[in-house]
């Protein structure tokens, strides 16, 4: 796509704030104008559009406007009916990365040191006490824990759900993702915790370029989701 605008501004509108390109509102794929929930978020979205393409006629893509993409997802795909998103994300609690421990005793000890504090956080803060297992055989989580996780996800606003929708598959852990949403854990640390296993393997077999590239890409996605969450906070 080519940049078709010169100026980007933020203005008051009937239903909140609007991001304007040469005086015209940025619109979502469905046609509705984008409506950031706060001035901080509106300014950040506007900054994406100021930078995208460099100048009029320059090439830009959706990867240049990640906040816009997430806000748009929240408005068009989540807000009209959050239930499917809520249920889908809450289901990840049944296969949370933190609950599956290695057969390798040294790695299992590292996992316990790194992950157990966040399972305890889940129990104390979310009311979801999850159980762990060794190996890859599925472990059934207590119903009370599943209900508590569903409640925690259902309490989120559409924009938070959009961010969670990036974090959960990226990290493989609903617990770590909810800790980021609640500002108990930084996105950077959550990403580090989610890569304990692969970094352990690299100690023995060396780094794999494809794995490193994937980790970098996923890390960037986690940071963008975390940035949206930070901009939503007071």
Q: Tens digits of per-residue pLDDT, 156-199?
A: 999 999 999 999 999 999 999 999 999 999 999 999 999 999 99
Q: Tens digits of per-residue pLDDT, 120-164?
A: 999 999 999 999 999 988 999 999 999 999 999 999 999 999 999
Beta strands 8-13 and 16-21 are: antiparallel
CATH for 83-232?
1.10.3580.10
Give the predicted TM-score (pTM) of the model: 0.94
CATH for 8-78?
3.30.2180.10
Residue ranges of the chain assigned to CATH 1.10.3580.10: 83-232
Cross-strand pairs, 9: 20
Per-residue confidence (pLDDT) for residue 22, from 0 to 100: 97
CA distances from 81 to 16, 37, 45, 161, 207 (A): 21, 18, 24, 12, 43
d(CA 86, CA 84): 5
Does residue 234 surpass a pLDDT of 90? no
Does residue 109 surpass a pLDDT of 90? yes
d(CA 39, CA 178): 24
Cross-strand pairs, 2: 59
Q: How confident is the model at residue 204 (pLDDT cuts 50, 70, 90)?
A: confident
Per-residue confidence (pLDDT) for residue 16, from 0 to 100: 85
Residue ranges of the chain assigned to CATH 3.30.2180.10: 8-78
Does residue 203 surpass a pLDDT of 90? no
DSSP secondary structure of 114-169: HHHHHHHHIIIIIS-----EESSS--PPPHHHHHHHHHHHHTS-HHHHHHHHHHHH
C-beta separation of 86 from 178 below 8 A:
no
Q: What is the DSSP letter of 76?
A: I
Q: Tens digits of per-residue pLDDT, 45-82?
A: 999 999 999 999 999 999 999 999 999 999 999 999 99
């Amino acid at each position: 796509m080519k940049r078709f605008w010169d100026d980007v501004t933020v203005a008051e509108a009937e239903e909140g704030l609007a991001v304007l390109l040469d005086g015209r509102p940025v619109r979502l794929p469905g046609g509705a104008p984008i409506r950031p929930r706060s001035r901080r978020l509106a300014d950040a979205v506007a900054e994406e559009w100021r930078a995208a393409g460099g100048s009029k006629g320059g090439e830009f893509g959706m990867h240049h406007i990640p906040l816009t993409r997430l806000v748009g997802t929240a408005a068009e795909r989540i807000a009209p009916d959050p239930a499917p998103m809520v249920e889908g994300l809450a289901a990840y609690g049944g296969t949370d990365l933190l609950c599956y421990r290695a057969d390798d005793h040294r790695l299992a000890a590292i996992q316990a040191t790194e992950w157990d504090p966040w399972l305890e956080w889940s129990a104390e803060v979310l009311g979801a006490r999850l159980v762990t297992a060794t190996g890859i055989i599925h472990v059934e989580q207590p119903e009370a824990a599943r209900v508590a996780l569903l409640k925690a996800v259902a309490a989120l606003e559409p924009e938070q759900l959009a961010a969670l929708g990036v974090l959960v598959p990226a990290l493989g852990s609903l617990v770590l993702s909810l800790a980021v949403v609640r500002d108990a854990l930084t996105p950077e640390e959550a990403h580090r915790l989610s890569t304990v296993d692969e970094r352990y393997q690299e100690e023995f077999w060396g780094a794999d370029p494809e794995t490193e590239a994937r980790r970098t890409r996923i890390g960037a996605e986690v940071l963008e989701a975390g940035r949206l969450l930070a901009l939503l906070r007071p």
